[in-house]
Amino acid sequence: MTLAVRYLAARTLDTAPAENPPPGPGQVEIAPAYVGICGTDLHIFHGDMDARVAAPAVLGHEMSGRIVRVGAGVEDWSPGDAVTVMPLRWDDTCPACRAGHQHICQHLDFIGIDSPGAMQQRWTVPATTLVRLPGSLPLDHAALVEPTAVAVHDVGRAQVRADEKAVVVGGGPVGILIALVARAAGAEVRVVELSPHRRRLAEKLGLTTWDPAADDLPELVGEWTGDAGADVAFEVSGAQGGVDTAVDVLGVRGRLCLVAIHPRPREVNLHRFFWRELTLVGARLYDRTDFERAVTLVADGTVPAEQLISKVVPMAQAPDAFEALEGGGDVMKILVDCTDDSQGADQ
C-alpha cells in the first residue's frame, strides 16, 4: 500500500492510501526518502491557496529519494540512483519561456502545488526534472537542496559580490540559507531576526545577528558601513516592518532583493529609492544551474544541513509537524520520512 500526506481542507491533513501512476514514456518513479515542509506548504495548510490547490492534494516539493523504475525512452537514469527534483514544468511556448525564463513560465506547473507532490511513498515525475545527487550526500541532508537553490537564485538576482555588505531581514530557513550563500560568495553578512532561537542558531553557524526589537539598527548599520549603508538587502520576513528595515539599511545605489511572498500590498518608502537611487529586484524560484550549485553547497558542507534540520517525523505525524511549524521560532526545518512501510493510514 502506497501512502501519501494529503491536504483536504484548511488545517486538515491526513495520511492515506494514494494512487501513483506507473512511469510512462519519459517519466521515472521515485521512492521519496525525505520531504521538507516549507512556508508555501504552510500557506496551503492554512487554506490560503485553495483557489490554486485542488483537494485532496499531495504536498511537498523539497525532497530527496531514489529511482525505483524508469519509463520508456529514459536514458542516463537507473533504479537506485539518488536524486532530487527541480519541481517545475513549463510550456515552452509563452512569452516568458520564449525569452529564456522558463522557471517563471506564465503557465507554470509547480509540482507539489499545482500537481501532486513528493510527500508520498511513490512519486512519478518527468525525467527532465531530476537532479543527480552525489552518493556521499546523506538523503536527509539532500532534502535541503531545493530551498538552497532558492537562496542561490536570490543571491544571484541581487548580484552579490565579494566584500560587499549584505543584510538579510528574516532569519527563517530561507533567510539563513541566503546568508550562508551570500557569505560563500564573499559578502559580509548581518541577519536581522526577532526570534531568539533563530538568532542563536544563526550565531552557531558563524553569522552575526541583530535584534530589531532591542538593537538600534541605524546606529549598527552606520558603525558597520562607515555611514555608507549596506550594498544589498534581502527582504525575507514577509512583514511591513521587514520591508521598512530592508529599505532603510541600504546605501547609495543599494539593491533590495524581494524574496518573501507578501499576501497584500505594502507601503514602500519611494522617496528613499529616489534619494539614494536604489534598485528593487524580485526573485522567484530557480533554474537548473541554481539547483546544481545548491547540490554542491549542501554536499561540501557550506550549507550545514544537519544543524538546520530541527526534527524528522514519520508520515503519520506530518499534521502535527505542520502545527509545530506555525509557532515558527523554536524550529527551523522539519523533514517528513517517507520510507517507513509500517506506517498506518488514517481511516
In the block, residue with C-alpha cell 530557480: 286
Which residue among the candidates 2, 12, 43, 208 is catalytic per the annotation? 43
The whole-angstrom separation of Cα 33 and Cα 243 is 37
Q: Among all chains, which residue has been given the C-alpha cell 532561537?
A: 197
Residues 334, 77: Cα–Cα separation, whole Å: 29
- DSSP-derived 3-state class of residue 176: helix
Place of cell 550545514: 304
> CB within 8 A of 124, min separation 6: which ones?
20, 21, 22, 23, 24, 27, 28, 29, 30
Q: Contact 251/282 with Cβ under 8 angstroms?
A: no
Phi, psi of 120 (to 5 degrees): -155, 165
Whether residue 40 lies in the annotated active site? yes
Instruction: Give the number of other Cβ atoms within 10 Å of residue 115's Cβ.
Output: 14
- Tell me the sheet residues that pair with 165: 188
What are the residues whose beta carbons fall under 8 Å from the beta carbon of 280, sequence distance 6 or more?
Answer: 255, 256, 258, 273
Bridging pattern class, strands 279-282 and 250-258? parallel
Q: Which one is catalytic: 2, 40, 124, 296?
A: 40
Query: How many CB atoms lie under 10 A from the CB of residue 86?
Result: 24
Is 141 in the active site?
A: no
Rg (CA), the chain: 20
Cis peptide before 56 (omega within 30 of 0): yes
Active site residues: 40, 43
